[in-house]
Structure 1
Amino acid sequence: MGARTVSPGGALLRSSRMFSMPRPLPEISSISSDSTMHKSNTATRPFPQYQSITSPLASREKGDWGIKRPLPIKQTMATTTPLVRVKQFDTIEKITDYNSAADHSLSLEKFGEMRIAMTIPQEGRDRRDISSRANRYIIDGGKDTSGPASNPGLKSVFEEDMDFTAMSADSAGDNRWKFTGPWLARMSEGDFIKYLDKHVRPKRAEFRTLLRGLLAAQMTDRQNAEAREAGKPLPPPVNPKDITEEDFTKYLRRLRHDRPVLYSVISKFLDLAPLGMPVGFKANSGIFFDDDVQVSRSPYGKSGPPPSHPSAGISYLRTNAVLDNHPVYGPQADKTPILSRIISPRQGATPAKLGVGGFVATVPAGDNDFNYRPTRGGRSASRKAISGVSHLDLSTYGGAKAYVEPYTATVNPEGKVVVKVREAGAEAQIIAKEARGLTSIYNDSPLKRSLLSAPEQDAGQEASARRLERVAEEVFSEEPLDSVPEKDIVSSSSSYGLDPPTER
């Protein structure tokens, strides 16, 4: 038998040690007006674009990461997070362009530890109703099991009426998160002009045919309604070819003046991402001439659809209806709070920013310690403002910190994970501090007693010294022990510390 010939592709796969890598995610154009518009090449991206690669220690010591050339051992071994992202296998300098991927990998790990369920964005809801501890919203099949009945609960991104991509004939099709067409509000002027020239103008004839079909259906319904009222047999349906140009022109003029209906028809024809309801427009106000056309009620109408699945693959939890079971105190009413860092104080109307597990969140709104301001009557003894919220705290080592409870997260059109937090409960904060050794609830062990504050330790030492003096007086007393009347100490009040101390 002769030698087998290998194709160029097969030879490439044989010589290559890593031949399959996913393409990097494209950069998303930002439409926000905040400071994130000024991007830095060294700043952490809001979402990962390249796959994170790791290697076992035995291979990492040799510089083997599964790619066609080894990576420098001096750099890859001098880290506690052996995670890299490869931007380019072969550059013009014949090297591998890579950098550390610990930023996104650790953020994913910390997000998983916080156990946050991804939800559909809630447009137009009062932030005070969400963050208030009196109104608890639990993700449970889209129903609010604890808050007031007037406020709907947060809905998971994995619900059947939200987690689908196929276009349906009913109005529920607007709730899908993926569309073939773009979201017009996110496009730049140049991209919008290119979209008109390449996708919209070639479909003019097709769109006019669609409008003729809609007009024919409306005229057929009108004729049938008039025939029923007059008691006559139903006339034959109107054919789109039988519509005159004059009637069609009048129909186009009516469409131009009815913007909601026109937007709905164009969005379905081009499969565009839904736009928000026009300002000042109220549903079911009777301004429609076509009742069959419905206005989009998509949750992504105001902010826009996310660039990926609404969960972003960062969390697959469907509900927050779980209980934390403490080994000593049993089931807890609140989740374990997260110690957040105050990274930006409040500036005028802009609320303070918190760093929660590698993500930036806004302080919870409402009447809480984050927004507490002393009145003229004086500050309450049980309330105090958190340091670092109203001004930059330069005295606290490591920056000002505060406990919060993250309860939901969403993905905005820019691909950023927006975490929402609320004020943590007092008992949950004490238990979290006890786990870190910063405070103690039960001081019946040497470890707990060693964690007491200095005034408490001084008070304990003084009590021990007084008891030692009483023992010394008993030992060196000249009064014989027989003269002291015996006292039953079994199940007596003194054995439980109930008798008042006697004066000597």
Structure 2
Amino acid sequence: MAGRISPATNLLRKSRLFALPSSLAPPPPAPTSIFCSESDSATLPYPTKATIETPLSSLVRGDWGLKRPLPAKSTTNSSSNPLVRINRLDTYEHITDFHPANDHALTLQKYQELSLPVSSTVHNSLTLSGSRHTSVFESSNDNITITEDQSSGKKLRYRFKGPWLAGMTEVEFQRYLKKVRKQKPEFLQRLREVITENKALQARRRLMDEGKVLEDSDIPKEMSDAEFETALLALRADPTSLGPEINRFLDLATPPKVPDRRIHLHNWIGGPSDVASPQYARDGPPRTHPSAGISYLRTKSHIDNHPVAGPQRDPRPVQARVLRARGRGRGGSAKSIVGVAGFVTDDIGPSASREFDRQNGSLQFDPDLPGGSKWWVKVDRAMVDANGKVILRVDGATSSAKALYGVKEATKALPSFVTSRASFSRLDENS
């Protein structure tokens, strides 16, 4: 079989460039009537194109494995660790359209330095505080298809064949209805099988209640068209029975929960929920795997080993940048927003909030402070929501952890080259 493959086909099969995954759709804009100014160069919430890296021996020649070399002015001269993403391999002007990919690549590297697993949102879908860590790789929450054993707890999943109806517009819903109407014969055949099974089950129970011996001839295996039409009318009049069958046939994602004030009404029911997290029923199924590929750790069952003091209970402190401080008085913001490891978070622990208010320069914006206000934290939890955004929960680093690594006060003036990435400074032995 290998001898029949042409040289060009064999070259394409072994090419790493053709093995790149297809581009993802960019995130849609938020549905709002308020005018929002957006930047074309702003970092997207998640990467849409794969990142390409080349060895140092090929980098000096500008060789990236593409059709033509890339200019050094836009790669090696502009970054110490050049990474690119390809928009088009060849344009009408005979050039390769590319952009730097250091934003998402360095963010991934920063996150992996935290050695932090991604938590699931099964126990608490609104916030990470006060919830127990459950890995997104657990077998009870990492199912793609329905398991055979529905009685066990291993039937939760995050991916569905059908769309999430609550997040569709009217035009998308009408387009989906046209597609669904073509499956009407298959659905009627499925309903006939379900009604026949229920009728046979009722006959079997009736014979058992009467104490008769079960025989195959006494159990109906087929039904006439008239009986099927009568049973179909009964199903249409009962949304609680027809809804689960429609949901199971189309494999629709779990809809949002009906408010309690409408429970007494006779509404449509989509069947039992098998979604891996209540958040996916409220915001829709996740766009990617719940881990988003940023970490494959399952637990935090590891400790940092200090070269002198040995194993430590608290992790190594990380430096965060204060983006918006919590204000005082009327009109002040209720939450503090910080940036850590390339992510922005406002989920701050209670002990960190008290320490955050005591620091100088944290209550007001100080434009004279080089690099902005800094803050030493420890990252407790990480989660990826249904929209593909990473949510972190941080808390203030303990005094013992900061003293062990010789961390100076974060709000002091720092050099301009210091970024929000974790950086540590050693105290002088004589100080």
- TM-score calculated relative to the size of structure 1: 0.68
- Tell me how many residue pairs correspond in the alignment: 400
Correspondence for 1:154 among 133, 152, 163: 133
Structure 1 residues 401 and 109, CA gap change in structure 2 (3 angstroms): same
Does the 8 Å CA contact 1:405/1:422 hold for their aligned counterparts? yes
Does the 8 Å CA contact 1:407/1:421 hold for their aligned counterparts? yes
Question: Aligned partners of 1:121 and 1:18: how far apart in 2?
Answer: 36
Residues 192-203 of structure 1 correspond to what in structure 2 (within 5 A)?
Answer: 192-198=173-179, 200-203=180-183
Residues 407-422 of structure 1 correspond to what in structure 2 (within 5 A)?
Answer: 407-422=380-395
Query: In structure 1, what is the equivalent of residue 61 of structure 2?
Result: 62
Moved more, 117-126 or 78-87: 117-126
Does the 8 Å CA contact 2:382/2:393 hold for their aligned counterparts? yes
Correspondence for 2:168 among 178, 187, 193: 187
Correspondence for 1:404 among 351, 359, 377: 377
Correspondence for 2:429 among 433, 448, 464: 448
Question: Aligned partners of 1:105 and 1:126: how far apart in 2?
Answer: 28
User: How far is the alpha carbon of 1:20 from its aligned partner?
Assistant: 4.7
Correspondence for 2:324 among 311, 332, 344: 344
Q: Secondary structure at the match of 1:420?
A: strand
Question: Aligned partners of 2:22 and 2:184: how far apart in 1?
Answer: 35
2:217 is equivalent to residue 274 of structure 1: no
2:397 is equivalent to residue 424 of structure 1: yes
Query: In structure 1, what is the equivalent of residue 420 of structure 2?
Result: none
* Corresponding letter in the other structure for 1:252: R
* Corresponding letter in the other structure for 1:408: R
Residues 79-228 of structure 1 correspond to what in structure 2 (within 5 A)?
Answer: 79-122=79-122, 124=124, 127=127, 130-131=128-129, 153-169=132-148, 170=150, 175-198=156-179, 200-228=180-208
Question: Aligned partners of 2:233 and 2:102: how far apart in 1?
Answer: 61
Residues 358-377 of structure 1 correspond to what in structure 2 (within 5 A)?
Answer: 358-365=342-349, 367-370=350-353, 372=354
Structure 1 residues 154 and 345, CA gap change in structure 2 (3 angstroms): same
Question: Aligned partners of 1:104 and 1:34: how far apart in 2?
Answer: 30
Unaligned runs of 5+ in 1: 1-5, 133-150, 373-381, 440-444, 451-504
Residues 274-313 of structure 1 correspond to what in structure 2 (within 5 A)?
Answer: 274-280=254-260, 294-299=272-277, 300-313=280-293
Q: Secondary structure at the match of 1:221?
A: helix
Question: Aligned partners of 1:125 and 1:13: how far apart in 2?
Answer: 45
Structure 1 residues 390 and 268, CA gap change in structure 2 (3 angstroms): farther
Question: Aligned partners of 1:125 and 1:24: how far apart in 2?
Answer: 30
* Corresponding letter in the other structure for 1:192: F
Deviations 1:195-224 (A, max 9, x none): 2212x1111232233233333333443444
Q: Secondary structure at the match of 1:360?
A: strand
User: How far is the alpha carbon of 1:105 from its aligned partner?
Assistant: 1.2
Deviations 1:4-62 (A, max 9, x none): xx969459869x99555432222243567799976432011122222222333443333
Structure 1 residues 19 and 244, CA gap change in structure 2 (3 angstroms): closer
User: How far is the alpha carbon of 1:93 from its aligned partner?
Assistant: 1.5
User: How far is the alpha carbon of 1:404 from its aligned partner?
Assistant: 2.3
Question: Aligned partners of 1:217 and 1:66: how far apart in 2?
Answer: 60
Aligned-CA RMSD value: 4.0
Question: Aligned partners of 1:37 and 1:123: how far apart in 2?
Answer: 34
Deviations 1:116-148 (A, max 9, x none): 101222364674xx536xxxxxxxxxxxxxxxx
Question: Aligned partners of 2:219 and 2:19: how far apart in 1?
Answer: 61
Does the 8 Å CA contact 2:157/2:275 hold for their aligned counterparts? no
Structure 1 residues 126 and 245, CA gap change in structure 2 (3 angstroms): closer
* Corresponding letter in the other structure for 1:301: A
* Corresponding letter in the other structure for 2:44: R
Question: Aligned partners of 2:345 and 2:290: how far apart in 1?
Answer: 18
Q: Secondary structure at the match of 2:311?
A: strand
Q: Secondary structure at the match of 1:216?
A: helix
Query: In structure 1, what is the equivalent of residue 238 of structure 2?
Result: 254
* Corresponding letter in the other structure for 1:392: F
Structure 1 residues 226 and 295, CA gap change in structure 2 (3 angstroms): farther
Deviations 1:388-441 (A, max 9, x none): 665534454322222222233222232222223234333223334x156989xx
Query: In structure 2, what is the equivalent of residue 22 of structure 1?
Result: 21
Query: In structure 2, what is the equivalent of residue 47 of structure 1?
Result: 46
User: How far is the alpha carbon of 1:362 from its aligned partner?
Assistant: 1.7
Structure 1 residues 34 and 335, CA gap change in structure 2 (3 angstroms): farther
Does the 8 Å CA contact 2:376/2:396 hold for their aligned counterparts? yes
User: How far is the alpha carbon of 1:159 from its aligned partner?
Assistant: 1.4
Structure 1 residues 57 and 214, CA gap change in structure 2 (3 angstroms): closer
Deviations 1:131-175 (A, max 9, x none): 36xxxxxxxxxxxxxxxxxx6x32111212222323224265752
Query: In structure 2, what is the equivalent of residue 502 of structure 1?
Result: none
* Corresponding letter in the other structure for 1:131: S
Structure 1 residues 244 and 105, CA gap change in structure 2 (3 angstroms): closer
Does the 8 Å CA contact 2:141/2:156 hold for their aligned counterparts? yes
Does the 8 Å CA contact 1:131/1:423 hold for their aligned counterparts? no
Question: Aligned partners of 1:95 and 1:264: how far apart in 2?
Answer: 55
Question: Aligned partners of 2:427 and 2:197: how far apart in 1?
Answer: 85
- TM-score calculated relative to the size of structure 2: 0.78
Unaligned runs of 5+ in 2: 412-425
Instruction: Tell me the percent identity.
Output: 34
Question: Aligned partners of 1:226 and 1:363: how far apart in 2?
Answer: 59
